[in-house]
Structure 1
Amino acid sequence: MASHLKGVAKSTMSDQIRKELCEYKRDNPASTQKDLQRWLEGKFHLKVSQGTISNTLKRSDDYLSAKIEKGRAEIKRHKPAKYLNPGKINVLDTIIENNAEDDSEDDTVSLEPVTRKEALMASNTLHNFMIQYKNTTPELLDAIRKVRDELQIDLNFKGK
């Protein structure tokens, strides 16, 4: 969060508020972005960063020309999705070409078979390692314990 907004909850503006901001700036061209921040706080009790003001003003033509539907006026704005221009890149040809390259290369790695005892030792090591970290969730530790217990049961059964 911006340093000048420390302790302030993150705020976002609806399209309607963005449109009003653009109209205010159009009607008061001498206003600075700091003035616009104060205006938003006074009128809407909304604190936003200078960057939000700047980004909104960059797109002021869109907001001022857009007819905002009554039901959509309070929907919060997100950046528009950017799509590839199909004329520039033929996505299908690229995918087919990459798949052909993948088929010709052999990426397989042979692994030695692991015994149940080695798997049990590995699960114990993993469990002990994960216990050391405070961010480890109890669910993860439970899952590791379940795997370890299944391996132990299987090892005991096969050993008899």
Structure 2
Amino acid sequence: MNETHRDRDTEGRARNARPRDGLGRPLPYGAPGVERQPEGVVRTPDETLREAQRLLDAGMPFHAHEVFEDAWKSGPERERELWRGLAQLAVGLTHAARGNSAGGARLLRRGAGALTSYGEVRRYADPLPYGIRVGGLVDWAGELAGRVDAGRPVDAAVEAPRLLG
């Protein structure tokens, strides 16, 4: 019988405990890595944006994506498209910085589309929800996706978007 070792969390769910680098890539067991974001943290929108911006500025968009994903999963239904779009932008930047140009450009455009949809639906509500510069982020994503498509290398910290207007 061949038994496979699987990392488990305290509740017994499968979790990969390998350390990760700043772009979320797994490293060998025992290697120094970047501290992972805890999952399922419920934050206020301001806390979410502050933590995600800190991670983006540090060149860790994969980790910022996890923060946005928590907001997407725990926030009100009417805001899910906003947080999902922001998570997709962060993971798009992650893929682009890892050298996955096709995946990076696709996710940047998908995130921009989610933000555009959110903006169209919520147009008569707050035009800058929580101060997020939705239009600027859509423009940033489109411009970066074009450069990624052209094969230009991406440095995640240099390309980090400004979330607030």
Structure 1 length as normaliser, TM-score?
A: 0.26
RCO comparison, higher one (Cα < 8 Å, 6+): 1
After TM superposition, the score normalised by the length of structure 2 is 0.26
Q: Which has the larger radius of gyration?
A: 1
